[in-house]
Amino acid sequence: MSTADQNPTAPRPAASRNVTAGDGVIPQFREPGPDRPRRRYAIAGTGHRAGMYVGALRGEHADVGEIVAWLDPNPGRIDYYDQQAGPGLARYTPDALEKMVAESAVDVVIVTSPDHTHADLVERSLRAGADVVVEKPLTTTLDGCRRITAAIAETGRDVVMTFNYRYAPRNSTLREVIASGEIGRVTGVHFEWALDTVHGADYFRRWHRDKANSGGLLVHKSSHHFDLVNWWLNDIPARVYASAALRFYGDENAAARGLGERPARGTGVEGDPFALDLRRDPRLEALYLNAEQHDGYVRDQDPFAPGVTIEDNMAVLVDYRGGATLTYSLNAHSPWEGYRVTVNGTAGRAELEVVERGHITLDADGNVVLDPSATAVSSADRVRPEGDRLVVQRHWQPAGRVTIPAGIGGHGGGDAILLKDVFRRDLRIGGDPLARAAGCVDGLRAVAVGIAANQSLVSGQPVLIDEFGLDLGPVSAHLASPRD
């Protein structure tokens, strides 16, 4: 199993390297019959995230799909993946997307490009005659939402959202607890996410640091989290209020703390835990450092350099149509990484705590050790050990711990399972009682919260999502939340 999709700055807990899943975690799929053609895929956006799909279609899912074309403005990044997939695949720039779909007979376009390009690439792919698999977020703006939904309505083609956190067993186990009615009807959720000063800082080094590119972390990162809550509750967000600011990263904050003059980029810098040296990771060196000559994109900017327009401290309040309220916070400069979720119900309470990286390890020279398991440096943390714990307590009863089965691969053990649904969903044996596969409506519901939160930051007022005029669909009947 490949882990090439993993951002080198993201945590790599032991669970992400599992090769055996717990009982019942992986759905059952039929073998493809001799008359089932391999679907033809194009990869639009050949940055590091594309690696997950390239690895899947060159490995486990090569029997049901093949890559036939690349689409990216940077030929250097295409070169990197072309060496893996076999040289000679057709190459296109974004302006030639329609030509790519026609000439290469593309069935599905996989969109892994920067967030602000999603709407254009998704819409054009649909209208050109291809289905789409798109990384989160679906898009960054209301206009993008409307363009995509109009294209689906007019073409009848399909959009798959890759919300991999739904497939992480810890998250699906919480969904099972809620759906069982054990804690009654949900009245509120508190969700706290902590990004540490390695992974969190990375959003302030790359294109995400400009809100015009990413919609900020309230769209780019939090789409994962808002989707989880929408899915856990099987409900539709209705009203959003947000408060957020840039309080740690950026040049003004650095100056206020007296950090002094800093290097413009991390490559070549020693002894600075906020510096990312692209030469330390062969994949980042090939995809970005060696490809700069083509487009000038610098992947390793200093997170305290001028030009940061996104927030690093965020708080959001979301009211749901069904009556529950979400209180959400995201911090991007924590000393540890993970999340805590508390779900209060009319019959009790569920608490999920996840530690993905208990602390950041520095080597003798003061450089970050991105993967302590690969070195002689111990990653043991007795006070905050890596792992997850789900506790459920009903009224008038003692608390009990719920067993979380093992997943496989990155993102909490969800990536490898997600890919089976992406590439083999027509071969699935039986339905999924948890409805983990996500489509355009799920993407709309998630990004609508982030877009509303950004609007609330500007106006200082609550924002009603219904006023966006988006069709957010009905809730799933078989996942209806328990009632009293």
| Section 97-110 average pLDDT | 98
Q: pLDDT over 90 for what percent of the chain?
A: 82
Indicate the Cα dihedral angle 204, 2, 119, 237, nearest 10°. Answer: -80
Instruction: Classify residue 245 as left (phi > 0), alpha (psi -120 to 50) or beta.
Output: beta
pLDDT value, residue 482:
56
Tokens found for residue 479: 């996942």
Does 11 score more than 90 pLDDT?
no
Q: How much of the chain, in percent, has pLDDT values that exceed 70?
A: 91
Burial of 450 (0-12, 13-18, 19+ CB in 10 A): buried
pLDDT of residue 126: 98
The confidence score (pLDDT) of residue 427 equals 94
Residue 1's pLDDT is 39
The H-or-E segment that residue 66 falls in is strand 65-71
State pLDDT tens for residues 166-181: 999 999 999 999 999 9
- Spatial strand order in the sheet of 387-394: 400-402, 387-394, 348-357, 337-345, 186-196, 325-334, 313-320, 237-245, 463-464
pLDDT per residue over 315-335, tens digit each?
999 999 999 999 999 999 999
Instruction: Determine contact, residues 329/193, Cβ cutoff 8 Å.
Output: yes
Sole residue written with tokens 């069982």: 180
366 confidence band (pLDDT: 50, 70, 90): confident
- What pLDDT, on a 0 to 100 scale, did the predictor assign at position 9? 84
The residue that leads in pLDDT, 365 or 454, is: 454
String of b and e for 269-303 (b: at least 16 CB within 10 Å)?
Answer: beebebbbbbeebeebbbbbbbbeeeeebbbbbbb
Q: Is the pTM of this model over 0.85?
A: yes
Mean pLDDT calculated for residue range 204-231: 97
What is d(CA 465, CA 450) in angstroms, rounded to the nearest whole number?
A: 10
So what's the pLDDT on residue 84? 87
* Cα–Cα distance for residue pair 213/27, rounded to 1 Å: 36
Give residue-wise pLDDT tens across range 16-71. 555 565 556 778 899 999 999 999 999 999 999 999 999 999 999 999 999 999 99
Q: What are 410-425's pLDDT values in tens digits?
A: 656 678 889 999 999 9
Distance of CA 355 to the CA centre of its chain: 17
Q: Where are the beta strands (DSSP E) in 289-409?
A: 313-320, 325-334, 337-345, 348-357, 387-394, 400-402
Confidence check: pLDDT of 294 > 60 = yes
Task: Report the C-alpha gap between 254 and 261 in whole angstroms.
Answer: 9
- Average pLDDT over the chain reads 92
pLDDT of residue 12: 66
Q: Tell me the average pLDDT across 373-394.
A: 78
- pLDDT on residue 370: 75
Please tell me the predicted confidence (pLDDT) of residue 6.
61
**If you average pLDDT over residues 222-228, what whole number do you get?**
96
Q: What is the predicted pLDDT for the residue at 355?
A: 95
Tell me what pLDDT residue 3 has: 45
Question: Could you tell me the domains of the chain?
Answer: 31-162 (3.40.50.720), 165-248+308-479 (3.30.360.10), 251-295 (no CATH)
